[in-house]
């Protein structure tokens, strides 16, 4: 089975929030592990357990991010972004439950479809919507510490 596509971790995925970044790294590593296992055997008796653990960790990670949103008043400061972020987390959970059910009933190609969805969703989410939350938290922390955020335009003029 040709499922050994791996997510290459890069600094572009960093949000600047240590807790988010370490959890993202764990998610990427775990997903790569599942990919490797599936490339080795299309009938992996551990598939169910491994994907269940991965999804449980994803939900735990969403809770962490949503707690940060609450702590930093994200919904009040950026209601549109916050609403889109929460909707993305909910949409992910719904889609994954459906794909996982398909995989469990042995629907052809369902396990690969689940894996592909997890890979593309996770990378896209980390690179876009999580970056906005990371920037917001970092800006807030800098302001609270009395540190001025670096001015990109000033840097370019030098």
User: Which of the stretches 2-10, 50-58, 62-70, 99-107 binds Fe ion when contact is defined by CB under 5 A?
Assistant: 62-70
Interaction between residue 130 and Fe ion (CB under 5 A): yes
Which span (25-33, 67-75, 110-118, 126-134) binds Fe ion, by CB under 5 A?
126-134
**Nearest by Cα to 77 from 129, 127, 133, 14:** 133
* Count of residues interacting with Fe ion (CB under 5 A): 2
Q: 80 vs 150, which CB is nearer to Fe ion?
A: 80
Is the CA virtual torsion 117, 34, 19, 96 positive or negative? positive
Say if residues 37 and 50 touch (Cβ distance below 8 Å). yes
Nearer to Fe ion, 3 or 131 (CB): 131
Q: How many helices (H) and strands (E) does the chain have?
A: 7, 0
Question: Between 65 and 119, whose beta carbon lies closer to Fe ion?
Answer: 65
């Amino acid at each position: 089975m040709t499922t050994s596509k791996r997510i290459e971790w890069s600094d572009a995925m960093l949000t600047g929030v240590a807790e988010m970044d370490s959890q993202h790294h764990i998610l990427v590593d775990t997903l790569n592990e599942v990919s490797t296992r599936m490339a080795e055997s299309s009938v992996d008796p551990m598939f169910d357990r491994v994907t269940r653990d991965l999804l449980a960790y994803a939900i735990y990670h969403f809770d962490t991010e949503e707690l940060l949103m609450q702590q930093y008043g994200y919904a009040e400061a950026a209601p549109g972004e916050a609403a889109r972020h929460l909707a993305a987390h909910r949409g992910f959970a719904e889609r994954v439950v459906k794909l996982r059910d398909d995989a469990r009933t042995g629907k052809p190609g369902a396990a690969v479809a689940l894996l592909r969805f997890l890979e593309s969703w996770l990378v896209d989410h980390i690179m876009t919507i999580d970056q906005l939350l990371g920037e917001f938290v970092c800006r807030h922390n800098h302001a609270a510490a009395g540190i001025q955020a670096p001015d990109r335009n000033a840097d370019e003029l030098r």
